[in-house]
Amino acid sequence: MSIFESSEAEVIESLLPRYQAEGFDVYVNPSPSILPPFMKAYRPDAIALKKDKKIAIEVVGSTPRSEEKIRTLQSLFADHQDWELRVFYASPVASNKLLEVASIPSINESIQRVIDLKETGHLLPALVMAWATFEAVGRALLPEEFRRPQTPARLVEVLGSEGYITPEEADILRAASTIRNAVVHGQLNSAVDPKVLEGFVAILKTLVKLLAPANS
């Protein structure tokens, strides 16, 4: 078990590059359809899968209730040696941080900065800025849902489930998030596909048009 001074969402985000670098396919908030029957009602925060190993990832706060939950989960996994349960602790202090909703003009300015960076060949900074803008747009559309810092995976999942982005757009965003995660964790030689970045910008332009009625 490991302890992180971060929110649960930030812990999951910090773990993604580690498992992906080890060759795992990582699924955040996995669908019940890809979980084994023994988990039944239990849905881990994420799972990491590869040919010879399957890991369930659970992030909890440092509370007595969490300790009881961990014991229950350990019992659940005890008879299933093909799965490993890994538990990570998140600090409850950081998770209480609430974020302000950005104004429409500031979001439009941010989109223009992304475009300017892209057109001058600064693709990595453009991609990172695009993700910051994407979270700002998401928070403006769904302020109650995104009051706290979000992982890229959850942003895509929630906005998709609410009908703000299409499955095709979600695929573009997931491709961009893989690069984004690598960059923010120090992989500075990561390459950005210009087509992915162009698609990202198009998504931002589409979403910002929905803000006026959403905030009227």
Q: In this predicted model, what pLDDT tens digit does every residue of 19-45 receive, in sequence order?
A: 887 889 888 888 888 999 999 889 998
Domain range for 69: 2-96
- Which residues are paired to 54 by β-bridges? 49
The set of residues, in sequence order, having a beta carbon less than 8 Å from that of 69 and lying 6+ positions away, is 58, 60
With tokens 């649960």, the residue in question is 8
> Exposed e or buried b for every residue in 41-64, given b needs 16+ CB within 10 A?
eeebbbbbeeeeeebbbbbbeeee
Q: Which helix (H) or strand (E) holds 210?
A: none
**In which residue are the tokens 């332009």 written?**
205
Q: What percentage of the chain reaches a pLDDT higher than 90?
A: 48
Residue 2, pLDDT score: 43
Strands (E), 64-154: 84-90
Same domain, residue pair 86 and 135: no
- What is the reported pLDDT for 12? 79
Please give the Cα distance from 203 to 200 (Å, whole number).
Answer: 5
CB distance 15 to 46 below 8 Å: yes
Q: Calculate the alpha carbon distances from 162 to 3, 95, 97, 165, 216 in Å.
A: 33, 24, 24, 8, 19
Answer yes or no: do 174 and 133 share one domain: yes
120 and 191 inside one domain: yes
CATH of residue 28's domain is 3.40.1350
Name the average pLDDT for the chain. Answer: 85
Last residue of a domain, one of 96, 118, 145: 96
Where is the domain boundary, 96, 113, 143? Answer: 96
The most confident of 3-7, 150-154, 188-192, 204-208, by mean pLDDT: 204-208
Do residues 74 and 128 share a domain?
no
pLDDT at 95: 43
pTM above 0.95, yes or no: no
Q: Does residue 14 share a domain with residue 81?
A: yes
Query: Who has greater pLDDT, 186 or 28?
Result: 28
Weakest mean pLDDT among 4-8, 28-32, 56-60, 131-135: 4-8
Residue 76, pLDDT > 80, answer yes
Give mean pLDDT, residues 86-98: 65
Tell me: the pLDDT tens digits for 126-181? 999 999 999 999 999 998 888 877 888 888 988 998 999 999 999 999 999 888 88
- Identify the CATH number of the domain in which residue 208 sits: 1.20.120
Distance from C-alpha of 114 to C-alpha of 123, rounded to nearest angstrom: 9
Query: Which distant-in-sequence residues (6+ apart) come within 8 Å of 139 by Cβ?
Result: 99, 101, 102, 146, 147, 150
Domain shared by 108 and 90, yes or no: no
**Final residue in a domain of this structure, among 54, 80, 96:** 96
Residue 214's pLDDT band (cuts 50, 70, 90): very low
Judgement on whether residues 19 and 92 belong to the same structural domain of the protein: yes
Number of C-alpha atoms within 13 angstroms, CB side, residue 97?
A: 13
* Mean pLDDT value of segment 195-215: 87
How many domains is the chain partitioned into structurally? 2
For CA atoms 66, 46, 126, 205, the dihedral sign is negative
